[in-house]
Amino acid sequence: MPKCLETESYFSDRESGEKPPASLCLSDQCVLDLGASSTPLYRLSSDVTSISNKESSVRLERVKCNQPGLEIGNESDTVDESIPSNEDYDKLRLRKGPIFYLAHPANAQYRTDIPAKYYITAAMPGMMGNICLEPSTSRFQRPSFKAMLSHKRTASDNPLFNEDAQQVLLFDIQPTWTAGRTCYKWNDLQGHRMAVEETIDGQYRLIITSWIEPELRDALVASWLLRLWHDTAESKQAKRACKSYNGMLP
């Protein structure tokens, strides 16, 4: 079976429109579905897990296939006409081009003119909204995170985010200890488990444990990738490399 057909089956399943549990991994700039012969599902414009990444904004695109074989979408707004007209969000997701922008502004720790150090903006109207990633640091353990949603905001809105009281908790991300591996539990507002994140031998994985709507799954994947970017950018190696790059170290 061509890989593009496997990809399409991932994004269109049962009548409810929800998507099944899946095991995803990040390989360089692609998110792969480990349960479908490592089929690429999403692509980043830059490797967020590399300390050499100097980008302040990274595009997240869905892998799109029109012909046998895989094709990465770019700037066109063409919609796959095979999708039923009542599946509005799937139409949006099948447009070529980015679905989200992941952002970590340069020198974010020193700036007061940015909404957050790490955030996500929706590329087009009709999507879930913009997401702010808020870390909560602890001296003795890995940080926890909250992904806060500003409903229906997009990259073109000003301001990008609602006032704090109007933001909604989208994901509660808590560290957990598992046999020396880096693991996080991803829960929703009601405390229901949505996914487990783990790093095994340098491979980043997201195990989605629930059937969830496609819009929410896209936001989950984007938030996971932004959290990985946070870990990379806040690492000692990255900070040392940044100082060396700016001429602060011999």
Task: State the Cα–Cα distance between residues 22 and 248, nearest whole angstrom.
Answer: 44
> Which of 2-6, 54-58, 72-76, 117-121 is the least confident region?
2-6
Instruction: Tell me which residue has tokens 């690492």.
Output: 235
Residue 143 falls inside a structural domain? yes
Parent domain of 203: 3-245
Residue 62 falls inside a structural domain? yes
Query: pLDDT tens digits, residue range 120-162?
Result: 999 999 999 999 999 997 776 789 999 999 999 999 999 999 9
Residue 250 falls inside a structural domain? no
Regarding predicted confidence, which is higher, 13 or 6? 13
DSSP lists the bridge partners of residue 61 as 43, 98
Helix/strand/coil for 149: strand
Residue 112 falls inside a structural domain? yes
Per-residue model confidence (pLDDT) at position 212: 92
DSSP state of 15: T
Please state the pTM of the whole predicted model.
0.80
Per-residue model confidence (pLDDT) at position 10: 42
Please tell me whether the peptide bond between 20 and the residue prior to it is cis, using omega within 30 degrees of 0.
no
Per-residue model confidence (pLDDT) at position 76: 39
Position 73 pLDDT exceeds 90: no
Tally of domains within the chain:
1
Stretch 235-243: mean pLDDT: 70
Per-residue model confidence (pLDDT) at position 112: 83
Regarding predicted confidence, which is higher, 91 or 235? 235
Task: State the Cα–Cα distance between residues 112 and 132, nearest whole angstrom.
Answer: 15
